[in-house]
Amino acid sequence: MLKRDTTAINDDTFIVDQLDSVFSKIKIIDGSVDKDELHCQLLDYYRAKFGNPDLANFHYEFIDLFCGAGGLSVGLEQEGFRPVVAVDKDRSAILTYRFNRPWLTDANIIHDDIRDLVGQDIFPHVPVVVGGPPCQGFSVANKHKKENDERNDLYKFYVHSVGQARPDIFLMENVEGILRLYSTIKEDFCKVGYITCDPLVFNTKDFGFPQSRKRAFILGIKKDYKKISNELYHLFKTELQRHLEAVTLYTLWDAISDLPQLEAKTMKNATYSESATWGYTFAGFRDAASPYARLINHGLPIEVPLLNHRSKYNNDRDIQIYQLLRPGEKSDAESIQEINPYKNRADIFRDKFDKLLADEPCKAITAHMYYDCNMYIHPYQARGLTPREAARVQGFPDDYLFLGSPNEWYRQIGNAVSPLMARVLASGLKLVLERIYRG
């Protein structure tokens, strides 16, 4: 059984080590900033932020399975939930998760494949278990789905973990395609003592958030509360509907317009080379005072660090395509046909190039950005979205630092649950728990 760590931070070794590792790799090729000075500034910021965390603000503990970089945890934390165990097999994502929660210990953040944890007594009892098993096997965006994709069974390990932790409730997030297995999922949870409520399917844009991202959510309730299970489900559903009725509509431009302009990177094989033209891992501090920035930063000071805002490498042909396309145009645009490498496969690759519209919600941010950002071309600049712009769209706070390689930042952000959506869900989970404990 894992030990809960409820003490304040008195050892910032992990923060220091990770920032040392990050800055040791960076090369400022144009001399535009003093890397050592920025390193000190950022270390001072995180020491001040995490040096004496007020853990009294957390009212309920939870376990985050398949936690990734922590998007779901961010939203729950903002509503008064505290993670006590997080599990993921992606090393860079686990580093990001731990860095942004340094009050947790290595023992509470498990870097392992959840399939290898079966039979180990590692999950404590908590009020809530949350998580989103990897969903690529169910995704409609996956054009190469396999009939018996092994990822389709990963939810079974979520079920096993719920059975061990015995939470009062759980919430499972996934793409809508997982609902093809809902009858089986319902039976599996029933075997470990849980009632699953009718799945809810929501699109983040319906809540006013600047992204079109549809996901399914399955609320589970321990059978001990069977007599009030319908009431609990109604509380949860009604709370989400309340948020739907009080939306402020945000566009892509609302989310990213206040970030500095950049150009596409033109130097090959220069992963850690940074400049004023291409952007930086850390570019000093800036005011984030827009309504959307205040929404995602959720009580942070107006002046925040500018993190992970740097462009991806593109060749001359792709940059020319980015320049020729108008917002809203895709691979079949007349203006790029002479240089479009996919022009003879437009039936498959119509959106291989996609220049985003500024005044609408962004298309769903995905982990494909790890490979290229051709489907996420900035509406006014000849480049793909930066990791920070993608994180803005998802709803991560500006001071949330992503670790690993720059490509891994994209993967972590694309795989995450939107923190904004997670905050809405958390408000519903809180009402359910309050009703359970009221008796």
pLDDT per position as a tens digit, 252-291:
999 999 999 999 999 999 999 999 999 999 999 999 999 9
Burial class (CB in 10 A: 0-12, 13-18, 19+), 342: middle
Q: Which amino acid is at 155?
A: Y
| pLDDT (mean) for 217-233 | 97
For residue 438, pLDDT over 80 is answered with yes
For residue 1, pLDDT over 50 is answered with no
For residue 114, pLDDT over 90 is answered with no
Per the prediction, the chain carries an average pLDDT of: 92
Distance CA 384, CA 322 (A): 8
**The predicted structure's pLDDT at residue 120:** 78
For residue 54, pLDDT over 90 is answered with no
pLDDT band at 199 (very low <50, low <70, confident <90, very high): very high
**The predicted structure's pLDDT at residue 204:** 97
| pLDDT (mean) for 114-124 | 82
Residues recognised as catalytic: 135
**The predicted structure's pLDDT at residue 3:** 42
pLDDT per position as a tens digit, 396-428:
999 999 999 999 999 999 999 999 999 999 999
DSSP state of 43: H
* Closest listed residue to residue 243, CA positions, set 431, 423, 434, 433: 423
Distance CA 321, CA 329 (A): 11
For 150, other C-beta atoms within 10 Å of its C-beta total 10
* Percent of the chain clearing pLDDT 90 (strictly above): 82
pLDDT band at 343 (very low <50, low <70, confident <90, very high): confident
| pLDDT (mean) for 18-22 | 97
For residue 144, pLDDT over 50 is answered with no
Domains in the chain (CATH in brackets) are 13-247+419-438 (3.40.50.150), 252-415 (3.90.120.10)
Q: Which residue has 């900033």 as its token pair? A: 33
For residue 5, pLDDT over 50 is answered with no
- pTM attached to this predicted model: 0.93
Tokens of 347: 């039936």
**The predicted structure's pLDDT at residue 52:** 75
For residue 18, pLDDT over 70 is answered with yes
Higher pLDDT, 187 or 247: 187
**The predicted structure's pLDDT at residue 4:** 45
Q: Which amino acid is at 52?
A: N
**The predicted structure's pLDDT at residue 246:** 86
**The predicted structure's pLDDT at residue 358:** 98
